Amino acid sequence: MSGVALRRTLQALVVLLGVSVATFALVHLVPGDPVRLALGTRFDQATYDALRERAGLDQPLLAQYLSWIGHAVTGDLGVSFRSGDPVTALILERLPATLSLALASILVALLIAVPLGTASALRPRSLVDGFGTVVSQIGISVPEFWMGIMLILVFAGTLGWFPASGYVPLGEDPAGWLRSLVLPAVTTGLVSGSVLTRFTRSSVLEALGAEHVRTARAKGLGPRAVLRGHVLRNAMLPLVTVTGVQLAYLLSGVVVVEIVFAWPGLGQLALQSVQARDYPVLQGAVLLFAFVFLLLNLAVDLLYSKLDPRIAS
């Protein structure tokens, strides 16, 4: 187990280093002068040169990269050109909203996918299977922004059960936090749940046809014992991978949903940094997204080894 963890960790660090190089290079290829955008239309040359020097933009690209990555290792991602605030502080300010939305969305997705996908697999070509197929296809096909707008019109505009937009911190008002979270979490959870439903159905069907399942049935085990002890554990392996990818995607910020619901997440922060040519914020956000993907992939690999000891060997 320790050998698998060490090998996966080293691979993740190499990938993260490559992502940092690619991100730094691509960000500096984006047209536009971030210093001019930060200063506005009226500035003198001395102020312009001073800001470039403070940001390190007067140095060669290699020196800029080494300085940036060296500080990033210690948690210092630089200072925003746009606001003058530390990038780490800006990311940490948006992190609770992103975590709330991602975890709530993946919970909604699993509550939809596991029961519906399992029921569809146990009764193929039945009404339950047809219902699951229709629901998953609708969830995959309908754009997130349209689904979000419809939920706002029905549950915020007509019924008035939930707020139409905005985010309330958990520490300030737990009830308000929950009410503000419901609509965006359901929007993203329906889409992710539709994807996970198809994977759950396929995985359970494949597990049901395995030889050890037929042997267990031949020995006289009941349907529930076979399902719990022999089907679900093997069927969950592919689902763990897809769930990890979906969670990483949600933690990276669902920009469209964040815009529809005015949700102050990391996706909206990254979009604003692109529009403002705010290099430090954009680099820090992309590096964080890559780190989240790699961390969750590492967790999935280790969980795989726990669920299936053959992988560790």
Task: Choose the final residue of a domain: 69, 87, 105.
Answer: 87
Per-residue pLDDT, 225: 72
Distance between CA atoms of residues 111 and 190, nearest Å: 10
Question: Are 119 and 179 in the same domain?
Answer: yes
Per-residue pLDDT, 131: 87
Whether 313 is in a domain gets the answer no
pLDDT greater than 60 at residue 1 = no
Question: Cβ–Cβ contacts within 10 Å for residue 45, how many?
Answer: 7
Per-residue pLDDT, 233: 73
Distance between CA atoms of residues 135 and 158, nearest Å: 24
Q: Which of 190, 189, 185 is nearest to 265 (CA)?
A: 185
Provide the domain limits for residue 213. Answer: 91-307
The rounded percent of the chain whose pLDDT value lies above 90 is 5
Question: Are 110 and 250 in the same domain?
Answer: yes
Per-residue pLDDT, 312: 54
Question: Are 189 and 115 in the same domain?
Answer: yes
Task: Choose the final residue of a domain: 34, 65, 87.
Answer: 87
Per-residue pLDDT, 3: 67
For 100-119, the pLDDT digits (tens) are 898 999 999 999 888 888 88
Question: Are 61 and 103 in the same domain?
Answer: no
Question: Are 185 and 128 in the same domain?
Answer: yes
Greatest Cα pair distance, the chain, in angstroms, is 86
Per-residue pLDDT, 107: 92
Question: Are 207 and 245 in the same domain?
Answer: yes
Per-residue pLDDT, 183: 92
pLDDT greater than 60 at residue 311 = no
User: What is the average per-residue pLDDT within 63-85?
Assistant: 83
Whether 105 is in a domain gets the answer yes
Question: Are 81 and 106 in the same domain?
Answer: no
Whether 150 is in a domain gets the answer yes
Whether 312 is in a domain gets the answer no
DSSP-derived secondary structure for 115-174: HHHHHHHHSTTSHHHHHHHHHHHHHHHS-HHHHHHHHIIIIIIIS--S-SS----TTT-H
Question: Are 111 and 213 in the same domain?
Answer: yes
pTM for this model (two decimals): 0.81
Question: Are 143 and 71 in the same domain?
Answer: no
Distance between CA atoms of residues 193 and 188, nearest Å: 8
Number of separate domains in the chain = 2
- Residue 107's contacts (CB-CB under 8 Å, 6 or more residues apart) are 185, 189
Distance between CA atoms of residues 302 and 1, nearest Å: 8
Mean pLDDT across the chain, nearest whole number?
Answer: 81
pLDDT greater than 80 at residue 261 = yes
Task: Choose the final residue of a domain: 52, 87, 122.
Answer: 87
Question: Are 158 and 27 in the same domain?
Answer: no
pLDDT bucket at 41, cuts 50 / 70 / 90: low
Residues forming beta bridges with residue 79, ordered by sequence position? 86
Question: Are 104 and 246 in the same domain?
Answer: yes
Question: Are 83 and 98 in the same domain?
Answer: no
Whether 288 is in a domain gets the answer yes
pLDDT bucket at 26, cuts 50 / 70 / 90: confident
